[in-house]
């Protein structure tokens, strides 16, 4: 087994990261850093920090030159960062020392690596948005179509009161819709350029440091934070927090579907299921299981990233190294969960007969709460609760429907009290409201 499932041909379809996986390769990292170096030279040329002819040569070379990641292994091992080796290799490949001397002018390794990371995270968020829209489209259609399909709600793993399949779907999608709507603010508040020099003071960049940083941000389509963020990992944490909430919402979908597809429940069909190596009858809920597993992985990695956000002094190698180890994995975990959920939500199907059978359950205990409130027309609430509990116990012991026992004692109870379709509360409205919300996204 590979060290990471995301690098494994064996698990490539189970934990498929799609296009996001290509963003987190050594080749992609080098390409992003070269784009930063080229853009930096171009803006420095435009504001007169370096000769404009050299800036043009560097920018052109940054688009054309390719650096072998393997060739940077030795200097990276020696220096702890890849940028010194990358800059040296780039200068050599330019074969124009009169221009190459201006590569990386006034910047530090962290500026280049952090800005390159932001370029890749920007693309990762764009890909996540595409998956989110597809997932929400499927959930919105399902919520609208099944807004009034009764099914049992469950709390603490036990049957509670009637709800609707559409409302369950709406609950799946609401936090995902929130995440989608938050993306513009996230991009503005997290996709930052870094250009602050060795100790965050931009001293080597000269009096035009602020102007250069702002121009670099514009050139790369990033945001100028107006300061150093070498030790303030807020933008990284903001992105990870957003990814975490998305992954948690998808994990909730997975957990719920594991329960709804369990033997003896079977209220939902998944479309695609897995087989057992030895039990012919098995239809394993692979997709939901993957969502739950990815959620567990994200939680562990996120804790490590939080710890790594506490840097020392003005720059910190150790904390920064830890961030390199975890942020790509967090991003790929979220991407894999989104991809799995995209496929899963496209094929979800309710099983109305099974849902009705569970609601009926032979004795109708799902209506116990409604009964307890209906009885308050005749007695105080505490007494009504006690009467309802007694009737539930009698129903269980005698295997007689709750409705039959309740009407024997209280024949004037509302006629629709034990009709699941009439006891769903706001569930149908919530489902329709979600469907309408998705249609406007």
| Region of 206 on the Ramachandran plot (φ > 0 left; ψ -120 to 50 alpha; else beta) | left
Distance, CA of 298 to CA of 314 (rounded, Å): 29
Considering the candidates 276, 381, 390, 393, report the single residue annotated as catalytic.
276
Rounded (10°) CA dihedral 173, 177, 183, 184: 170
Distance, CA of 305 to CA of 308 (rounded, Å): 5
Q: How many CB atoms lie within 10 A of CB 111?
A: 29
Considering the candidates 187, 233, 315, 343, report the single residue annotated as catalytic.
315
Q: Please give the structure tokens belonging to residue 438.
A: 């998705």
Contact present, 234 and 245 (Cβ < 8 Å): no
Distance, CA of 24 to CA of 154 (rounded, Å): 40
Q: How many CB atoms lie within 10 A of CB 426?
A: 11
Q: Please give the structure tokens belonging to residue 132.
A: 């989110």
Buried b or exposed e, range 286-295, using 16+ CB within 10 angstroms: bbbbbbbbbb
First to last CA, the chain: 41
Q: How many CB atoms lie within 10 A of CB 229?
A: 17
Distance, CA of 315 to CA of 200 (rounded, Å): 8
| Catalytic residue status for 289 | no
| Catalytic residue status for 276 | yes
Q: Which helix (H) or strand (E) holds 229?
A: none
Give the residue numbers annotated as catalytic, written as ranges. 276, 315
């Amino acid at each position: 087994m590979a060290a990471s499932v995301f690098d494994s041909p064996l698990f490539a379809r189970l934990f498929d990261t799609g296009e996001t996986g290509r963003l987190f390769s050594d080749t992609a990292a080098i390409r992003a850093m070269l784009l930063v170096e080229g853009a930096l030279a171009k803006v420095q040329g435009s504001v007169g920090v370096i000769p404009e002819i050299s800036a043009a040569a560097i920018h052109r070379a940054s688009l054309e030159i390719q650096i072998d990641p393997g060739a940077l292994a030795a200097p990276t091992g020696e220096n702890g960062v890849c940028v010194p080796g990358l800059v040296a290799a780039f200068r050599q490949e330019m074969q124009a020392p009169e221009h190459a001397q201006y590569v990386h002018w006034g910047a530090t390794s962290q500026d280049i690596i952090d800005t390159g990371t932001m370029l890749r995270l920007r693309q990762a968020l764009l890909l996540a948005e595409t998956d989110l829209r597809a997932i929400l489209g499927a959930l919105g259609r399902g919520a609208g179509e099944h807004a009034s399909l009764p099914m049992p709600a469950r709390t603490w793993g036990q049957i509670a009161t009637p709800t609707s399949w559409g409302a369950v779907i709406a609950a799946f999608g609401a936090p995902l819709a929130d995440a989608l709507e938050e993306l513009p603010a996230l991009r503005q508040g997290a996709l930052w350029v870094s250009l602050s020099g060795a100790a965050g003071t931009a001293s080597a960049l000269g009096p035009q440091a602020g102007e250069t940083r702002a121009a670099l941000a514009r050139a790369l389509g990033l945001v100028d934070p107006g300061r150093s963020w070498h030790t303030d990992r807020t933008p990284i944490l903001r992105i990870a927090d957003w990814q975490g909430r998305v992954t948690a919402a998808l994990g909730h979908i997975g957990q719920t579907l594991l329960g709804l597809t369990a033997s003896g429940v079977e209220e939902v069909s998944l479309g695609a299921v897995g087989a057992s190596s030895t039990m012919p009858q098995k239809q394993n809920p692979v997709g939901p299981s993957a969502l739950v597993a990815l959620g567990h992985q994200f939680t562990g990695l996120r804790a490590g990233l939080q710890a790594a956000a506490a840097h020392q002094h003005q720059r910190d190698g150790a904390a920064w190294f830890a961030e390199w180890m975890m942020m790509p994995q967090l991003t790929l975990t979220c991407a894999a969960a989104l991809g799995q959920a995209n496929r899963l939500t496209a094929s979800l199907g309710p099983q109305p007969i099974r849902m009705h059978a569970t609601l009926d359950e032979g004795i109708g205990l799902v209506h116990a709460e409604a009964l307890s409130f209906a009885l308050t027309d005749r007695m105080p609430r505490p007494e009504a609760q006690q009467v309802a509990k007694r009737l539930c116990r009698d129903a269980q012991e005698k295997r007689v429907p709750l409705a039959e026992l309740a009407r024997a004692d209280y024949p004037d109870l509302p006629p629709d009290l034990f009709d699941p379709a009439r006891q769903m509360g706001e569930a149908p409205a919530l489902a329709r409201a979600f469907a309408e919300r998705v249609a406007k996204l």
